[in-house]
C-alpha cells in the first residue's frame, strides 16, 4: 500500500523534491554548503513544477569589458598587460531561450547598456603550451535558488558565455550638439555612404544619437553586414549624445574607412566627427599556434581563491565557438557545461599507483591538488589559452575579451 504522502503526491497536493547526484531534505542550503556531502546538487521543485525552465533565471554579468585597475586581467604563468579598448561587441546574437545579455550596447534600456569596451591583453609566450591570465575583478556568485519557500533548491549556472577575439577593430565617433530644430537633417558618412536622420521637435541630442545608431546598424550598406563598408555603432554609455562606430572586422583595413559628419544648410544642430577615418585597427598577433581556450574557476567553499587542497575546487571549462547571425568578426564562445553544484573538482588528483601512494595531478592546473566540491560562490576566474606547441617568450598574443556572463 502506498504511503499517505505518496498518494497525495499523485494528485498534486504534495510537492516532491527531485534530486540529482546527491540528496536533499528540501530546505534551502547556506551559500557554499555541500548538500549532504554528496557528489551533486539538489534539483528541488515547487509544487507541481519541475526544474527551472530555461530562461527563467536571468543571466549574471561577470565582466563588462571595463579594464579598470580593479577588474583587469593580470599574468599568472606569463607576463600580461591589460589596457582598455573602447570598441564594444554587439548584443549577443545567439542566445535562444536565454534572457537578454546583461550588458551590451544594443540593450533596450540604459541599465543594460553598460558595456564599457573590452580588455586588450598582451601576453608573452612562456615556453609552455598554455598562457594563463587571472581576472582581478570580483566574480559574482554563480549560484541561485529556485522553488517555493520551504521547498527550494540550490543550483549553479550551467555555462559561461564570452565574446573574445584577437586583434583590434578600428573605431571613431560622432558627437551631436547644438539647438534642436525640427526639419534639420543630421548625416553621418561612412566610406562615402550617407546615413541621414531628420530631426523632429521632440528630439534631444541624445535621441538624435540613438536614431543614428539604429540607422547605421539597420543599413544594408554600412551596417554589420554592409555591402559597401561593414561597421556597427552604439551610443557612448558615458555620453548619450555621442555615436561610437567600429569596423566590423579586426585589423588595419578598418583604418581606411572614411568618416564624416554634417548637417543640412541652416541647421542649428552640430555633428562633429573624431577624424577623417576610423583609427586604431590592429592585426592579430599570436605567440605560437592558437588552438583553443578555456575558463578556469577556483574557489575555497564560499571564499574566492585557493585554500586547503581538500576544500578547494579547480574546474576548467572548455570554450567552443558558436556561429553568429551577423556578419562581423565576433567570436562567441560557450564555455562549459559547469559541473553540478557540489560536484567534485574536475581537476582533482586521480589515483596513480596506490601501492606507492602517488597521485596523478592534471597538467597545468591553476591549483594543483584541489579536490573540493564545486560551490561557485564568488570564485576566482582565469582565462587559459591553449597552443599546439610551446610558445616563444619573444612573441606576444593579443586576445581581446569583451563581456562575459553566466547563463542558466
Q: pLDDT, tens digit, for every residue of 198-252?
A: 999 999 999 999 999 999 988 989 987 788 888 888 888 778 999 989 887 778 8
Q: Which residues contact 218 (CB under 8 A, 6 or more apart)?
A: none
Give the SS3 label for residue 341.
coil
pLDDT at 204: 97
Rounding to the nearest 10 degrees, give the CA dihedral for residues 291, 295, 296, 297. 180
How many Cβ atoms are within 10 Å of 260's Cβ, its own excluded?
16
Domain count for the chain: 2
pLDDT at 350: 63
Asked if residue 216 belongs to a domain, the reply is yes
Reported as a single tens digit per residue, the pLDDT across 237-276 is: 778 999 989 887 778 889 999 999 999 999 999 999 999 9
Both 241 and 152 in one domain: the answer is no
Asked if residue 26 belongs to a domain, the reply is no
Asked if residue 336 belongs to a domain, the reply is yes
pLDDT at 272: 97
Rounding to the nearest 10 degrees, give the CA dihedral for residues 76, 126, 161, 155. -50
Q: What's the domain range around 350?
A: 60-166+286-407
Asked if residue 15 belongs to a domain, the reply is no
pLDDT-flagged residues of the chain (< 70): 1-51, 67-70, 86-116, 285-290, 322-331, 348-363
pLDDT at 156: 87
How many Cβ atoms are within 10 Å of 193's Cβ, its own excluded?
16
Both 125 and 213 in one domain: the answer is no
Task: Give per-residue burial for 109-139: e unless 16+ CB within 10 Å, then b.
Answer: eeebbbbbbbbbbbbbbbebbbbbbbbebeb
Q: Which residues contact 50 (CB under 8 A, 6 or more apart)?
A: 18
DSSP 78: S
Closest Cα to residue 219, out of 242, 252, 197, 241?
Answer: 197
pLDDT at 43: 46
Amino acid at each position: 500500500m502506498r504511503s499517505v504522502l505518496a498518494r497525495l503526491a499523485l494528485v498534486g497536493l504534495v510537492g516532491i523534491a527531485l534530486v540529482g547526484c546527491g540528496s536533499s531534505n528540501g530546505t534551502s542550503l547556506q551559500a557554499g554548503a555541500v548538500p549532504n556531502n554528496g557528489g551533486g546538487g539538489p534539483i528541488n521543485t515547487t509544487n507541481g513544477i519541475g526544474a527551472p525552465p530555461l530562461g527563467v533565471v536571468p543571466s549574471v554579468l561577470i565582466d563588462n569589458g571595463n579594464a579598470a585597475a580593479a577588474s583587469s586581467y593580470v599574468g599568472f604563468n606569463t607576463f600580461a598587460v591589460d589596457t582598455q579598448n573602447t570598441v564594444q561587441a554587439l548584443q549577443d546574437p545567439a542566445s535562444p531561450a536565454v534572457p537578454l545579455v546583461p550588458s551590451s550596447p544594443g540593450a533596450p534600456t540604459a541599465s543594460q547598456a553598460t558595456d564599457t569596451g573590452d580588455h586588450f591583453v598582451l601576453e608573452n609566450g612562456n615556453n609552455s603550451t598554455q598562457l594563463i591570465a587571472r581576472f582581478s575583478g570580483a566574480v559574482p556568485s554563480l549560484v541561485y535558488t529556485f522553488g517555493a519557500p520551504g521547498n527550494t533548491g540550490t543550483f549553479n549556472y550551467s555555462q559561461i558565455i564570452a565574446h573574445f577575439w584577437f586583434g583590434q577593430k578600428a573605431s571613431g565617433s560622432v558627437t551631436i550638439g547644438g539647438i534642436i530644430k525640427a526639419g534639420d537633417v543630421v548625416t553621418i558618412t561612412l566610406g562615402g555612404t550617407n546615413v541621414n536622420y531628420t530631426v523632429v521637435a521632440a528630439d534631444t541630442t541624445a535621441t538624435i544619437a540613438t536614431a543614428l545608431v539604429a540607422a547605421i546598424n539597420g543599413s544594408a550598406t554600412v551596417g554589420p553586414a554592409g555591402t559597401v563598408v561593414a561597421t556597427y555603432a552604439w551610443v557612448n554609455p558615458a555620453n548619450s549624445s555621442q555615436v561610437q562606430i567600429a569596423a566590423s572586422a579586426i585589423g588595419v583595413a578598418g583604418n581606411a574607412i572614411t568618416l564624416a559628419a554634417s548637417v543640412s544648410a541652416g541647421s542649428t544642430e552640430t555633428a562633429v566627427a573624431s577624424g577623417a577615418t576610423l583609427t586604431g585597427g590592429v592585426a592579430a598577433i599570436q605567440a605560437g599556434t592558437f588552438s583553443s581556450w578555456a575558463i578556469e574557476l577556483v574557489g575555497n567553499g564560499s571564499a574566492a581563491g585557493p585554500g586547503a587542497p581538500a576544500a578547494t575546487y579547480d574546474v576548467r571549462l572548455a570554450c567552443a565557438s558558436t556561429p553568429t547571425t551577423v556578419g562581423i568578426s565576433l567570436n562567441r564562445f560557450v564555455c562549459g557545461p559547469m559541473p553540478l553544484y557540489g560536484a567534485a573538482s574536475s581537476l582533482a588528483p586521480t589515483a596513480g599507483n596506490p601501492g606507492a601512494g602517488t597521485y596523478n595531478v592534471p597538467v597545468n592546473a591553476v591549483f594543483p591538488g584541489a579536490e573540493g566540491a564545486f560551490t561557485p560562490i564568488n570564485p576566482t576566474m582565469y582565462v587559459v589559452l591553449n597552443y599546439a606547441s610551446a610558445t616563444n617568450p619573444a612573441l606576444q598574443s593579443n586576445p581581446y575579451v569583451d563581456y562575459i556572463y553566466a547563463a542558466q
